[in-house]
């Protein structure tokens, strides 16, 4: 049972250079994972696992993000019964600066979630009794992440990318605050006093440390799954994991497609209006809406909407929307509206 309302603030001003060429035309959080945008999967997780209603979603965008980016976010927010608000981060100056760009929205109960990763939990998160809750995941190599130092369920401090072992609970980029105004106060202090961390950026963990020093009670919430979408390889691996986890029922399609010389090796995600003729597809393949694949073999790959492939043998590949490939073989990562034909 939901016990209240809150805002969800999602900083997503970066294009995502590590998922190029796809992020040349669409920012990383709008890329699909088995038919659903990364950012929508994040929102759905909060709706499923939080004990509060998400009444408003605030998206912090880059200055060049126009209607082709805003419209899908508006539609997605409406699907989930949430008000949609846009803020802009003109220059990327770090996580603290990104969140401060939503200063007008930092009041009351808020969740901040960076749209780089997906997570899941079998449990419902109860945030009662805490000034803040930080979502964590146990990792093998904590030196790659910001980590939380804790005693029981109480957090006592934070360290960015520790050179020596301090904690193996990594911060996954999800934070709850009972009073967003208190966070805004600390962010303002960091910016006004030019307190920068590694790389000359303003870090959100600095604000969290200041709140702990001020006596605020921080609790932990651990997740069962933490999936990265920050690189091409990670996007592929996460898509494969989700396709297998969600176990799409393709029995009827497999039988019908077999008559057209097509073999499906599960797990595979097939969107609506996909044409397959003489194709061997799978495992771990996601094909988005309106694609046409003929006389091809695909495994461990993503094919975005309205793409066309003929005579191709691909593995570990990501194919952009409205792209046409003919007789292409091996591993390839190609952006939207491309045409490649290998004679």
Domain coordinates of the chain in residue numbers?
A: 5-233, 248-341
Other Cβ atoms within 10 Å of 181 Cβ, number: 12
The superfamily (CATH) of domain 5-233 is: Spore Coat Polysaccharide Biosynthesis Protein SpsA; Chain A (3.90.550.10)
Q: What is the pLDDT of residue 252?
A: 62
CA atoms within 13 A on the CB side of 87: 22
- Long-range contacts of the stretch 321-328 (C-beta < 8 A, 24+): 321/25, 321/288
What would the pLDDT profile of 251-292 be if each residue is shown by its tens digit? 566 666 666 788 999 899 999 899 999 999 999 999 999 999
Residue 1: the pLDDT is 63
Give the residue ranges of the chain where pLDDT is below 50: none
Topology match between the domains 5-233 and 248-341: no
pTM as predicted: 0.89
Contact 250, 234 (CB under 8 A): no
pLDDT at residue 156, as a whole number? 82
Tell me if the domain spanning 248-341 has CATH number 2.160.10.10: yes
Peptide bond into 30 cis (omega under 30): no
In angstroms, rounded to a whole number, what is the distance separating the alpha carbons of residues 72 and 40?
10
């Amino acid at each position: 049972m939901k016990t209240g309302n809150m805002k969800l603030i999602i900083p997503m001003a970066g294009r995502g250079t590590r998922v190029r060429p796809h992020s040349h035309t669409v920012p990383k959080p709008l890329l699909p994972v088995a038919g659903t945008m990364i950012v929508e999967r994040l929102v759905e997780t909060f709706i499923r696992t939080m004990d509060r209603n998400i009444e408003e979603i605030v998206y912090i965008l880059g200055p060049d993000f126009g209607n082709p980016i805003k419209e899908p976010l508006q539609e997605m927010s409406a699907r989930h019964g949430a008000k949609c608000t846009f803020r802009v981060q003109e220059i990327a100056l770090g996580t603290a600066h990104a969140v401060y760009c939503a200063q007008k929205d930092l009041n009351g109960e808020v969740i901040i979630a960076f749209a780089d990763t997906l997570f899941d939990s079998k449990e419902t998160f109860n945030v009662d009794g805490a000034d803040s809750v930080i979502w964590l995941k146990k990792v093998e190599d904590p030196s790659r992440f910001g980590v939380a130092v804790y005693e029981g369920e109480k957090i006592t401090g934070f360290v960015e990318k520790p050179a020596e072992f301090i904690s193996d609970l990594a911060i996954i980029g999800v934070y709850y605050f009972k009073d967003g105004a208190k966070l805004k106060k600390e962010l303002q202090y960091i910016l006004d006093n030019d307190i920068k961390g590694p790389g000359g950026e303003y870090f959100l963990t600095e604000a969290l440390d200041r709140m702990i020093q001020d006596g605020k009670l921080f609790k932990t919430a651990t997740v069962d799954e933490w999936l990265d979408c920050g690189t091409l390889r990670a996007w592929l691996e996460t898509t494969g994991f989700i396709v297998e986890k969600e176990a799409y029922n393709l029995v009827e399609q497999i039988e019908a497609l077999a008559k057209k010389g097509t073999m499906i090796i599960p797990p595979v995600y097939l969107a609506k209006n996909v044409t397959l003729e003489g194709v061997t597809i799978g495992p771990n393949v996601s094909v988005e809406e309106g694609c046409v694949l003929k006389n091809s073999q695909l495994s461990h790959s993503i094919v975005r909407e309205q793409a066309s492939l003929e005579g191709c043998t691909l593995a570990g590949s990501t194919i952009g929307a409205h792209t046409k490939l003919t007789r292409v073989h091996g591993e390839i990562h190609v952006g939207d509206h491309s045409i490649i034909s290998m004679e």
